[in-house]
């Protein structure tokens, strides 16, 4: 399905000549059809304050998509909006052909999405295992196979399963937060700045883990301030500026594009 998507994408005429402007993207019906997550003309913000204007975004099955852009561009707001944590002002969010625009935050997880916020993403007062159990709260029983899978992916969590989450290092908390979001084996994982605050040697490890998760079949939508590394690894990237899509293309192409490099990647 992933390749089918890329093919469709490459067949679109403007894809051949550098990064396309986002507005043209939303007019490409082929892309829409294969989307798992589909954001259309989204306007959203907090209370009276509008942050996002006409944002379009697609994530296909098993695809790895990154949102990059300057500080304050509204990258995190896109993620929060998908989870119903912002004030909705217009547009739609569709997931697996179901309109989830008005779905309450506590119900979004039932649809097959997992979300790792940037800050405060673990229950500090609960121990590691309890945090993971909370990840599967909506199930009657803690799924032992999922727990096993998370422990296999992040062995440090099993070693420290009785430790209070709040007493762990930033990197370990980040892994716990991801593990928690994986407990329901979501179709799409939203990651908000997974490398933020990590020691440099841990950043690579974190990106490797995300690659593994994606290769195992989970679509990933990631916001990253470490734009170069994120674009290098993802299938496709969006550049968000002032709450609007500016560019969208395959990660490598964005990375090599002169305009994108100059404006957003520091040359």
For other proteins, the binding residues (CB under 8 A) are 83, 85, 105-110, 115, 117, 120-126, 130, 133-135, 137-138, 180
Say how far apart CA 76 and CA 52 lie, in whole Å. 10
- DSSP, residue by residue, 70-133: STTSSHHHHHHHHTT-SEEEEEEEEETTEE-TT--HHHHGGGTEEEE-SSS-S-TTSBHHHHHH
Strand partners, 245: 240
Distance of CA 160 to the CA centre of its chain: 26
Q: How many CB atoms lie within 10 A of CB 249?
A: 24
- Which CB atom, from 33 or from 110, has the smaller least distance to other proteins? 110
Question: Regarding beta strands 236-241 and 64-68, do their DSSP bridges make them parallel or antiparallel, or are they unpaired?
Answer: parallel
Which tokens is 25 given?
């993207």
User: What does the longest C-alpha to C-alpha distance in the chain come to?
Assistant: 55
- Which CB atom, from 84 or from 251, has the smaller least distance to other proteins? 84
Strand partners, 3: none
Say how far apart CA 259 and CA 237 lie, in whole Å. 14
- Which CB atom, from 118 or from 245, has the smaller least distance to other proteins? 118
Residue burial 149-179, b: 16+ Cβ < 10 Å; e: rest: bbbebbebbbebbebbbeebeebbbbbbbbb
Distance of CA 89 to the CA centre of its chain: 21
Q: What's the min distance (Å) between Cβ of 113 and other proteins? A: 9
Residue 260: left if φ>0, alpha if ψ -120 to 50, beta else—which one? Answer: alpha
Q: What's the min distance (Å) between Cβ of 115 and other proteins? A: 5
Q: What's the min distance (Å) between Cβ of 120 and other proteins? A: 6
Q: What's the min distance (Å) between Cβ of 169 and other proteins? A: 18
Say how far apart CA 252 and CA 12 lie, in whole Å. 17
Q: What's the min distance (Å) between Cβ of 14 and other proteins? A: 36
- Which CB atom, from 86 or from 245, has the smaller least distance to other proteins? 86
- Which CB atom, from 15 or from 188, has the smaller least distance to other proteins? 188
- Which CB atom, from 130 or from 229, has the smaller least distance to other proteins? 130
- Which CB atom, from 102 or from 124, has the smaller least distance to other proteins? 124
- Which CB atom, from 6 or from 134, has the smaller least distance to other proteins? 134
Q: What's the min distance (Å) between Cβ of 24 and other proteins? A: 33
Say how far apart CA 150 and CA 131 lie, in whole Å. 12
Q: What's the min distance (Å) between Cβ of 194 and other proteins? A: 16
Q: What's the min distance (Å) between Cβ of 51 and other proteins? A: 17
């Amino acid at each position: 399905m992933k390749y089918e998507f890329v093919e469709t994408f490459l067949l679109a005429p403007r894809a051949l000549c550098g990064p396309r402007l986002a507005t043209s993207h939303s007019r490409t019906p082929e892309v829409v059809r294969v989307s798992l997550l589909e954001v259309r003309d989204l306007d959203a913000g907090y209370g009276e304050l509008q942050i996002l204007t006409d944002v379009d975004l697609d994530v296909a099955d098993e695809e790895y998509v990154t949102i990059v852009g300057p500080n304050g561009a509204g990258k995190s707001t896109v993620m929060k909006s998908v989870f119903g944590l912002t004030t909705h002002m217009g547009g739609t969010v569709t997931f697996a052909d179901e309109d989830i625009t008005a779905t309450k935050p506590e119900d979004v997880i039932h649809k097959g999405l997992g979300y790792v916020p940037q800050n405060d993403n673990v229950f500090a007062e609960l121990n590691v295992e309890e945090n993971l159990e909370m990840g599967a709260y909506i199930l009657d029983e803690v799924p032992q196979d999922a727990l096993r899978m998370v422990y296999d992916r992040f062995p440090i969590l099993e070693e420290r399963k009785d430790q209070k989450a709040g007493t762990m290092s930033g990197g370990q908390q980040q892994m716990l937060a991801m593990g928690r979001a994986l407990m329901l084996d979501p179709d799409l994982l939203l990651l908000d700045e997974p490398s933020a605050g990590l020691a440099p040697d841990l950043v690579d490890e974190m990106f490797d883990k995300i690659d593994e998760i994606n290769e195992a079949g989970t679509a990933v939508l990631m916001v990253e301030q470490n734009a170069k590394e994120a674009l290098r690894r993802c299938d496709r990237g969006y550049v968000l500026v002032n709450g609007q899509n500016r560019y969208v293309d395959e990660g490598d192409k964005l990375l090599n594009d002169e305009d994108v490099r100059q404006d957003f990647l520091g040359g």
